[in-house]
Amino acid sequence: MYNTQLPTDGHMPKGTTLGSGVFNQQAERHGNERIRFLLKSFGLRTSLIRLKVIDALLTAAESDRSLGVRGMHSHLLELDIPLSFLSVREVLKRLCSEGVITLNPDKSYSLHPQAAAVFYSKQSGQRTSLKA
């Protein structure tokens, strides 16, 4: 499909970067695909809140930050995802019980090491099975 906003002469307009617009949406879609694969590996269905929660945990980990229930709830509200505090807490508890994330001693959450192995192996193109 033709997109009138993209240049046809091979030159990018001034102020345009590869990380903006259509290219950024493609990168986000690939990130979501890895999270979808992770959830499927643990036998979980994909939902918007699960995608956003795991994405927030990954983003926080990259920034050397930690998120607890309140921090996660605030983060999702900033993204205009109107969920109750209880809904966020229940999703975090479910992801913990399924082994996707872990509750740290400081009451923050992080990706479980086994889940991280699945997630990052998918990123590099390797296949990882959770069956022992």
Structural domain boundaries, residue 33? 23-123
Q: Tell me what pLDDT residue 121 has.
A: 81
pTM value surpassing 0.75: no
SS3 state of residue 109: strand
Q: Tell me what pLDDT residue 79 has.
A: 87
Buried residues in 66-88 as b, exposed as e (16+ CB within 10 A): ebbbebbbebbeeeebebeeeeb
Q: pLDDT tens digits, residue range 3-48?
A: 555 444 444 444 444 444 433 344 454 568 999 999 999 999 999 9
Report if residue 29 sits inside a domain.
Answer: yes
Look at the chain and report how many structural domains it folds into: 1
pLDDT higher than 90, residue 99: yes
Report if residue 104 sits inside a domain.
Answer: yes
Give residue for tokens 């690939």.
30
CATH number at residue 101: 1.10.10.10
Check if the beta carbon of residue 68 is closer than 8 Å to that of residue 108.
yes
Q: Tell me what pLDDT residue 98 has.
A: 96
Q: pLDDT tens digits, residue range 68-88?
A: 999 999 999 998 988 899 999
Q: What are residue 17's phi and psi, to 5 degrees?
A: -120, 165
